[in-house]
Structure 1
Amino acid sequence: MKQRIAIDMDEVIADTLAKFVHLYQKDHGLTLTPELLHGKELRDALPPELIDSVRKYINQKGFFRDLEVMPGSQQVVEQLAQKYDVFVVSAAMEFPNSLEDKLHWLGEHFPFIPWTNIIFCGYKIINTDIIIDDRTKNFKGFAGRTLLYSSPHNLLLTEFERVNTWDEVASLLL
């Protein structure tokens, strides 16, 4: 039996942050630089009058449909799928409009992952051997190996095994 890997979507294989950066520049003339975002949640880097806009954007139908793919993720995840049982696990239930968008996005960019291995959930209560995620809250209660995928909001955390790129994931797991 193959080991199982759970891979998060947003900020791990799908570049949600790049979309936010684009939208805030286009709609508000606000430039969100890596320095401004370092160690902060997106909402904490915004002026007070724009804090509510994060939820407005993320709840719009279509927000998740045209996200950029994280560099190297397609190739490495496809290689991982040869060695492991790979599951994409996304806490999508909080944003109901994201479900169809995410399913179609995965079908377009990761067609080798069958629908049976896509899990949209609230809490990530999963039984896998490894989890790759950008949110450490998803590591609570998880008994397997955790890999923290770097994103600006988690750069100050030091207590987890970290991966910065999909090449690093490949070197650890392939």
Structure 2
Amino acid sequence: MNANDEKPRLIIDMDEVLADTLHKFLFLYNRDYGIRMDIHQEPGKELHENLPEHLNGQWEIYAHQKGFFRDIPPMPGAIEIVKALQARYHVYIVSAAIEFRNSLEDKLDWLAEHFPFIPWTNIAFTGDKIIAADIMIDDRIKNLAHFPGRKLLFSSPHNLLITGYERVNNWQEVAKLLL
């Protein structure tokens, strides 16, 4: 908790935490290559590692396209629960958006549409997530590994084999832990 404030700071990641990025990728792979939307995703592997080898680099092409991040569906329950979390926490959205240049505007517009109650002052687009806070919710251990506060690993197929972190499988589990 902050010495200057009664509310703890909560950092929330966007992709695969607030935004169902996997759904967007699957939609595009289905549209362009006929890959089934319910393709088996082997635990511990990235989506592209579960696809035919000739499609290995396609995910990067998609992610670099203008508009890719603009129409991703929100994760079920994310909007309502994040809104409720604001009563107990200073909520910050922190996303590694610098890697995909076109994602900056898309992600800002996406947040304005789905999370208009998060002020722009509480949004950070970064490379490394070196933000001071009390709690972080993220799907990537590279972001959680050196974070000094409480770490909540949001489940995604790529991280299902990882242990040693407090895990949340969905937004209802986040609500039970933090509200």
Is TM > 0.5 for Structure 1 vs Structure 2? yes
* Corresponding residue number in structure 2 for 1:23: 28
Q: Is structure 2 residue 147 aligned with structure 1 residue 142? A: yes
Q: Is the 8 A contact 2:12 2:94 kept in 1?
A: yes
Runs of 4+ in structure 1 over 4 Å off: none
Is the 1:21–1:32 contact (alpha carbons within 8 Å) kept by the matching residues of 2? yes
Equivalent position of 1:171 in the other structure: 176
Please say if 1:74 is aligned against 2:118: no
Structural mapping, 1:16-165, within 5 Å: 16-31=21-36, 33=38, 35-165=40-170
Distance 1:36 1:169 in 2: 23
Cα deviation code 1:71-91 (max 9, x no counterpart): 000011001111110000000
In the alignment of these two chains, the number of paired residues is 174
With structure 1 as the length reference, what TM-score do the two structures score? 0.97
Work out whether residues 41 and 157 of structure 2, in 8 Å CA contact, stay in contact via their aligned partners in 1: no
Higher helix fraction (1 or 2): 1
| Identity level (%) | 59
1:9 counterpart (9, 14, 17): 14
**What's the TM-score, normalizing by structure 2?**
0.94
Distance of 2:37 and 2:114 partners within structure 1 = 26
1:11 is matched by which residue type in structure 2? Answer: E
Deviation at 1:34, TM superposition (A): 5.4
Matched residues in 2 for 1:84 and 1:13: separation?
17
* Contiguous gaps of at least 5 residues in structure 2: none
Root-mean-square deviation (CA), in Å? Answer: 1.0
CA contact 1:34–1:152 (8 Å) conserved in 2: no
Q: For residues 20 and 9 of structure 1, what CA distance do their matches in structure 2 show? A: 15
State how far apart, in whole Å, the 1-side matches of 2:109 and 2:75 are: 16
Cα distance in 1 between the residues matched to 2:173 and 2:102: 32
Measured after TM superposition, the shift of residue 50 of structure 1 is 0.6
